[in-house]
Amino acid sequence: MTAPPPPGWYPDQVDQRYVRWWDGRQWTQHVQPARPPQPPPQPGGPPGARPAGQGDASPIELALGGTGDSDSVRHQAQQQAGVGGTVAGGGGTLFSEPVLVVNQKAKLIEMANEYAVYDQHGGQLGSVVQTGQSGVQKALRLFTKLDALMTVRLEIRDAGGAPVLTMNRPATMWKSTVHVQRPDGTPVGDIRMENAFGKPRFAFEVDGRRIGGITAQNLRAWDFKITDERDEHIGQISKTWQGLGKAMFTTADNYVLQLHRPLPDPLISLVVSAALTIDTTLGQAQK
């Protein structure tokens, strides 16, 4: 008797524009948009399906060491963040991969935040860019740290450069809230900082209802536990060492997001935005 295929994201048999999660025994209700084009058929998939492909966009090179090549990304995920080998599953999109490696672009003079997002194998899945900066904000960033208190807008893009989410953190001197939206302005939810002292905590909220959150595991805020609305552990975010060259001459930070199971929307959209929220609300203010 042939063993069933491993758990993973596979093209949905009803609508090929989506991928559906196969748990190793049966199809589940978890569905995410597929990353076009669909990969060629491969043997060994679940009944009537073939595995969806991994992201295959070329990684960008990061200046001053800590490049985005596949070996470097795999080392970052496995050795630094403790991801145990290759994690099963993955549909080749920002919202379907079980591991995301988020690396800030290193610059000697950083006027705007930029990030590249990879899968666990080093394939680039997307990017994040800061938008809407005024001349005053750029000047404050060049000569002071006051820009960390001003409004920050980030645009999350897929591998083809198309916007998929936007993040807006209004100006604040206290606890931050990040508003996550679709590209057309439709609200997804908020990532709200719950405390100003002690281990940082953030809540995922949709229409005022808490659907999960992230909690720092130490005061240094290098490791965060991700939980759902039932307070079950569903993933983690780990800040990783960016390399001596970047640490000495730049303020760039790197993060690894690992999920323990596929998540429905809007929770998955808020979780994908979470590492950027940590860097925007905590990392940038400390740089």
Residue-level pLDDT at 78:
75
The band of 247, judged by pLDDT with boundaries at 50, 70 and 90, is: very low
Domains of the chain, start order: 1-53 (no CATH), 70-286 (2.40.160.200)
53-57, 191-195, 218-222: segment of lowest average pLDDT: 53-57
Residue-level pLDDT at 114:
85
Q: Is the pLDDT assigned to residue 277 strictly greater than 70?
A: yes
Across the range 190-218, mean pLDDT stands at 93
Residue-level pLDDT at 77:
77
d(CA 28, CA 125) in angstroms, rounded, equals 24
Residue-level pLDDT at 79:
65
Residue-level pLDDT at 283:
52
Give tens-digit pLDDT for 76-116. 777 666 676 566 667 889 999 999 988 877 544 444 678 89
When comparing pLDDT for 264 and 139, which is higher?
264
Residue-level pLDDT at 17:
67
Residue-level pLDDT at 37:
47
The band of 135, judged by pLDDT with boundaries at 50, 70 and 90, is: low
Are the C-beta atoms of 74 and 121 separated by less than 8 Å?
A: yes
When comparing pLDDT for 279 and 268, which is higher?
268
Residue 112 CB contacts under 8 Å (≥ 6 apart), including other chains: 129, 130, 133, 138
Residue-level pLDDT at 6:
73
Distance from the first to the final alpha carbon of the chain: 58
- The amino acid at residue 269 is S
The band of 11, judged by pLDDT with boundaries at 50, 70 and 90, is: confident
Establish how many alpha carbons lie within 13 A of residue 204's alpha carbon, considering only the half-sphere containing its beta carbon. 24
The band of 164, judged by pLDDT with boundaries at 50, 70 and 90, is: very high
Residue-level pLDDT at 15:
66
The band of 155, judged by pLDDT with boundaries at 50, 70 and 90, is: very high
Q: Is the pLDDT assigned to residue 126 strictly greater than 80?
A: yes
What is the residue-averaged pLDDT of the chain? 74
